[in-house]
Amino acid sequence: MTEPRETAFNSFLKDFAENVGKFHKGMEVLAGIRDENVDVGATPKTLVMRRDKVELFRYEPTAKRAVETPVLIVYGLMGRYTMADLQPDRSLVRSLLAKGIDLWLIDWGKPGRAERWLTMDDYVDDYIHEAVHRICRETGHDKVTLLGICQGGVFTTCYAALHPEKVKNLVLTITPIDFHADIDDPAAIQGLLNIWMRSLAPEDIDRMVDALGVIPGEFMSSIFSLMRPMDSLTKYNVDLFRIVDDKDRLMTFLRMEKWLADRPDHPGAAGRQWLKELYQENRLVEDRFELSGRIVHLRAIDMPVLNIFALNDHIIPPACSKALGGKIGSTDYKEVPLPYGHVGLFVSSNSQDKLIKIIPEWLRARDS
Secondary structure of 275-298 in HEC code, one letter for each residue:
HHHHHHCCCCCCCCCEECCEECCH
How far is 146 from 157, CA to CA, in rounded Å? 9
| pLDDT at position 93 | 96
Q: Does residue 338 register a pLDDT over 80? A: yes
Domain 36-365 class in CATH: alpha beta
Which has the higher per-residue pLDDT, 242 or 296? 296
State residue 347's pLDDT score: 87
Cα–Cα distance, 52 to 265 (Å, whole number)? 16
**Between the CA of residue 37 and those of 53, 60, 257, what are the distances in Å?**
26, 22, 13
Specify the pLDDT at position 356: 87
pLDDT confidence of 316, banded at 50, 70, 90? very high
Residues 6+ apart with CB under 8 A from 355: 92, 95, 308, 338, 345, 346
Q: In 10 A of CB 302, how many CB atoms? A: 16
Instruction: Compute CA distances 169 → 111, 138, 265, 307, 330, whole Å.
Output: 29, 19, 30, 11, 11
91, 243 Cβ separation under 8 angstroms? no
**Is the pLDDT score of 190 beyond 80?**
no
**What does the pLDDT read at residue 15?**
62
Report how far residue 107's alpha carbon sits from residue 333's, in angstroms, rounded to the nearest whole number.
28
**pLDDT above 60 (res 320):** yes
Please choose, from the candidates 360, 351, 364, the residue with its C-alpha nearest in 3D space to the C-alpha of residue 84: 351
Asked if residue 364 has pLDDT above 60, the reply is yes
| Strand, coil or helix: 69 | strand
What is residue 234's predicted lDDT score, i.e. its pLDDT? 82
Does residue 132 contact residue 169 with C-beta atoms inside 8 Å?
Answer: no
| Rounded Cα–Cα distance for residues 283 and 103 (Å) | 31
pLDDT tens column, 269-312: 999 999 999 999 999 999 999 999 999 999 999 999 999 999 99
Catalytic positions are 150
Domain residue ranges of the chain, discontinuous segments joined by +: 36-365
pLDDT at 238: 76
How confident is residue 247, by pLDDT bands cut at 50, 70 and 90? confident
Q: How confident is the model at residue 355 (pLDDT cuts 50, 70, 90)?
A: confident
- 43-93: pLDDT as tens digits: 999 999 999 999 999 999 999 999 999 999 999 999 999 999 999 999 999
Average pLDDT over residues 214-237: 85
Percent of residues, the chain, with pLDDT higher than 70: 90
Phi, psi at 3, each rounded to 5°: -70, 135
For the chain, the straight-line distance linking the first and the last C-alpha, in angstroms and rounded, comes to 72
Residue-level pLDDT at 17: 58
- Mean pLDDT score across all residues of the chain: 90
3-state secondary structure of 149: strand
Q: Check residue 34 and give its pLDDT.
A: 79
Exposure string of 138-152, with b = 16+ CB inside 10 Å and e = fewer, is: eeebebbbbbbbbbb
Note the residue count of the chain: 368
Determine whether 219 is exposed, middle or buried from the number of CB atoms within 10 Å of its CB (0-12, 13-18, 19+): middle
How sure is the predictor about 23, in pLDDT bands with cuts at 50, 70 and 90?
A: low
Residue 323 has pLDDT above 70, yes or no: yes
> Of 235-249, 275-289, 320-334, where does mean pLDDT reach its minimum?
235-249
Rounded to an integer, the average pLDDT of 137-143 is 97
Alpha helices in 188-326 (DSSP H): 192-199, 202-212, 217-227, 229-234, 240-243, 247-261, 268-272, 318-322
Residue bearing the bigger pLDDT, 232 or 204 = 204
Q: Are 307 and 156 in contact (CB under 8 A)?
A: no
Residue 16 has pLDDT above 80, yes or no: no
- Range among 9-23, 26-40, 174-188, 225-239 with highest mean pLDDT value: 174-188
* pLDDT over 90 (residue 14): no
Distance, CA of 87 to CA of 95 (rounded, Å): 11
167: Cβ contacts below 8 Å, ≥ 6 apart: 143, 144, 145, 146, 159, 160, 303
